[in-house]
Structure 1
Amino acid sequence: MKIVVKAMGMADKVLGGKDGLVLTLEEPLTIKEILSTKLGVDPGAVMAVLVNGHYQKRDYVPREGDEIVLVPPLGGG
């Protein structure tokens, strides 16, 4: 199964500065598992996750062709 992972703002560091990353999953994984095992990211470091433009919880299991967007914590000053 293939999914696309993108990141907004500072979260693009997760993807090595790439616009998007196509992941091939051999088995169904939750977003939390994808973050920790496939991307090496602490799931708590991502403020929100959008799947196909809709907010999803980290226990969501993506489907073929889903586009996942990682939203970093908001900052400012």
Structure 2
Amino acid sequence: KGCAGCHGADGKTTIMPVYPKIAGQSATYLLAQMKDIKSGTRANGQTAVMKGIIAGVSEEEMKAIAEWLSTLQP
């Protein structure tokens, strides 16, 4: 399920109100967040699950995900 498991298939229907809506965000911002979570630079209680998911995602895949999410309607 990856990102959609918490952020929703559309990037804006989150399963909990505290999870950010990622649809329509800047690709640069989204990529930076994914890189920071993967490296451990960004670590808080909400990133633990994401760190496990993003561990298997390459930088090229992260770029593609960020670009795609940025095209979605917020």
TM-score, length-normalised on structure 2?
0.32
- Greater share of residues in helix: 2
